[in-house]
Amino acid sequence: MIVDIHTHYAPGGLYAAAKRGKDWYGASIVRDAQGGEQIAYAGRQSDLHPGLSILDPEQRIQGRIDDEGIDFEALCLIGNLLTWIFHLEPEQAAACCREVNQELADLEKAYPQYYRGLAVLPMQDTNAALRELEHVVKDLGMRSIVIGTTIRGKLLDDPAILPVLEAAAEAGVFINTHPPLFGVTGSERLPRYFFTNSFGAPLESSIAVMSVIYSGLLDRYPDVKVSFRQAGGWVLYGVGRFSLRYHQREDARPMAEPPEAYLGRLYYDCLIHDAESLRFLVNRVGADHVLLGTDNPAGGGIIGGTVRWIREQPYLSDADKANILGGNAARLLGLEATIRA
C-alpha cells in the first residue's frame, strides 16, 4: 500500500452550492478570464484544480493509481479553504467543520480501502474546537485531524490553541499541520517570484515545529503523533541556533530537553524537493518518521513523480523506502487491519 499523507480535496458542499448559484460559507466557484475555475472568498481568488473533487471517489483513486501507483489517500481540505474556515466567525466555522467532517466520515466508511479523512476543527474558538474534536472521535470514529500552522496569527503553543492539541493527544488522535494560504509570516516582504510560497510555507512549518516543541506537549504526552508539511521546513537545518539559546537563556528552555532531542519524535512529509536535503532529513529524524506527500493536485509535489523520486534514492534501503511510501503513514492512520485485509 502506497499512502499519500499530503493530498487535497474540495468538499462536495462547495460544488453543490455552485450548481445552485450560491456560495458555501462565503466561498464560491467563479471562472477567470481564461475560463478556468477559481475559488473566490473575501476578495481573494485561487485555483480550483480539477483533481480536487471527491464526487467520484473510485475515479479519483484510480487516477492516483494510474499516475503514480498511489492507492491510499489521507484527504486534507485544500489549503485556501482550510485557511478560510479559520477566518470565519466561530459559529459559522463550527457548522462548516461539522459538514466537512461528516462528508469525510461517510467517505471513510464507504471506501475504507482507499481513504481516510483529516478532520477539521474551528480552531479560532477553543471550546468549539474541543466540542468538534469530541464529536469527530466519539461519534464519527475518526482518528486524524488537520490544523493550521497558525490560527489567526496564533502559534501552536498559544493558550487558546494548546488545549486542543492536548485533548487530541489524550484521545490518541494523529495531528497534522498545514501552512495557511494567506496571512503567511513575512508575506509583506515577499511580493515577487512566488516567494510567499517558496519561502513562506516552509517558514510556517518551521515555526509550527518549534512551537510544538517549546510548548512542552511532547514532555507531557510522549506518545503524541504530530506531522508537518514541507519536511518540517527550514528549522531542521538550523536547530543548532535554538540549542545555543536553550543553553544560554533561561527564558528559552520551557521544555525538559534541548530542541534537537525532540525532532526525531515528530513526523514530516518528504516534500523537501532536493535529494541531498532528503538524505539529511532521514539521517536527522530516521526513515520511520518521514511520510510520502505529494500536495496533489496543488502543484507542490516532486517533478517527475514523488513515488519515483523516493524509489530512486540510493541511500535509502528497501525497508526505508517501504516505510516512507506507506508503512509509516499506515501505522499513524491505523491502517494495519486494512493492509492485512
Which grid cell is 262?
525532540
Q: What is the mean pLDDT of the chain?
A: 94
Long-range contacts of 104-107 (CB under 8 A, 24+ apart): 104/75, 104/142, 105/140, 105/141, 105/142, 107/54, 107/57, 107/75
pLDDT band at 337 (very low <50, low <70, confident <90, very high): low
CA distance 309 to 55: 30
Banded pLDDT at 44 (limits 50, 70, 90): confident
The reported pLDDT for the residue numbered 32 is 79
Q: With pLDDT > 90 as the criterion, what percentage of the chain qualifies?
A: 87
Q: Is residue 310 classed as helix, strand or coil in its secondary structure?
A: helix
Read off the pLDDT of residues 97-136 as tens digits, 9 standing for 90 and up: 999 999 999 999 999 999 999 999 999 999 999 999 999 9
What pLDDT does residue 181 have?
Answer: 83
Q: Which of 294, 288, 295 is nearest to 322 (CA)?
A: 288
Euclidean distance between CA atoms 37 and 31, whole angstroms: 5
Q: In this predicted structure, what is the pLDDT of residue 211?
A: 98
Q: What is the pLDDT of residues 301-313, one digit of tens each?
A: 999 999 999 999 9
In this structure, the number of other CB atoms found within 10 A of the CB of residue 204 comes to 25
Block residue for cell numbers 471562472: 31
What domains are defined for the chain?
Answer: 3-340 (3.20.20.140)
The per-residue pLDDT for 304 is 94
Cβ–Cβ under 8 Å, residues 72 and 115: yes
Q: pTM of the full predicted structure?
A: 0.95
Q: What is the pLDDT of residue 186?
A: 86
* Distance of alpha carbon 338 from alpha carbon 38, whole angstroms: 36
Report whether 225 contacts 267 (CB < 8 A).
yes
Q: Which amino acid is residue 103, in one-letter code? A: E
Query: What is the distance of C-alpha 50 from the center of its chain?
Result: 20
Are 14 and 2 in contact by the 8 Å Cβ rule? The answer is no
- Band (pLDDT 50/70/90 cuts) for residue 208 is very high
Q: Closest Cα to residue 200, out of 74, 304, 83, 84?
A: 83
Q: Rounded distance, CA 165 to CA 175, Å?
A: 8
Predicted confidence at residue 46, as pLDDT, reads: 86
What pLDDT, on the 0 to 100 scale, is given for residue 187?
85
Sheet of 225-228: strands edge to edge?
144-148, 174-178, 225-228, 267-269, 290-291
Task: Give the whole-angstrom CA distance, residue 191 versus residue 333.
Answer: 38
Helix 12-19, helix 90-110: angle, nearest 10: 110
| Other Cβ atoms closer than 10 A to 122 | 27
Q: Which element (helix H / strand E) includes 40?
A: strand 37-41
Distance, CA of 206 to CA of 186 (rounded, Å): 13
